[in-house]
A = this chain, B = another copy of it.
């Protein structure tokens, strides 16, 4: 199994966590988002993934998947132990909705290509770009915190006593939030769960600083 990844890509980070939790060995294929104008934009990577976004998973059976949440679901279906989705439909819906709060509604807004457009085509300076990033990070995390605090399903992790896909998505987004100086005092539940995840070897192994392409 191959994972096209970049150490600081938070979408790749989600998948690295799931691979580590499930104990799946893989070959990391680094794609440098900044070198040579962005290796992800070159013909080589576009032939693998036409979106020119990370990550992409290539399974040994030839299956190629270019969306982090689709990869997580595929790993769950093909390598079900340990499970990263709860057994009941309501619980699964809750975990998926939590994940999508970040995967769909928050993270894409501060992706590198979007920041480039905000600075380039929209002519914004560094301060406005940073405010933009923080705004959409804050919106996503505020919704996530509200969803956790109102629901008895929240446990040591986002849903119950073991990590799920929601935790795989939360931890990388909190990494982004800290990297870009977001104030996390309004998100005590997220910070608590992030600390619980950080104690697990799988979450540690997936950290950006531990990747072979880390700088």
Interface residues of A (CB under 8 A from B): 50-51, 53, 61, 63, 65-67, 69-71, 73-74, 77-78, 89-90, 92-94, 96-97, 100-101, 103-105, 107-109, 114, 117-118, 121-122, 124, 128, 131-132, 135, 142-143, 146-147, 150
**List of B residues within 8 angstroms of A142 by Cβ:** 50
Q: Roughly how many angstroms separate A66 CA and B78 CA in the complex, as a whole number?
A: 27
Closest to A59 in B: B90
Complex contact A70–B50 (CB within 8 A):
no
A86 CB, min distance to chain B CBs, angstroms: 12
Complex contact B69–A100 (CB within 8 A):
yes
Complex contact A90–B63 (CB within 8 A):
yes
Complex contact B69–A92 (CB within 8 A):
no
Q: Which 4 A-B pairs have the closest CB atoms?
A: A50-B146, A70-B96, A67-B100, A70-B97
**List of B residues within 8 angstroms of A105 by Cβ:** 51, 53, 67, 108
Q: In the complex where A89-B77, A118-B122, A128-B122 touch, is A104 in contact with B63 (Cβ < 8 A)?
A: no
Q: Roughly how many angstroms separate A103 CA and B119 CA in the complex, as a whole number?
A: 24
6 extra interchain contacts, Cβ-Cβ under 8 A, other than A70-B100, A74-B96? Answer: A67-B100, A69-B96, A73-B92, A100-B104, A105-B108, A121-B132
Closest to A100 in B: B67
**List of B residues within 8 angstroms of A63 by Cβ:** 89-90, 93
Closest to A66 in B: B97
**List of B residues within 8 angstroms of A128 by Cβ:** 121-122
A102 CB, min distance to chain B CBs, angstroms: 10
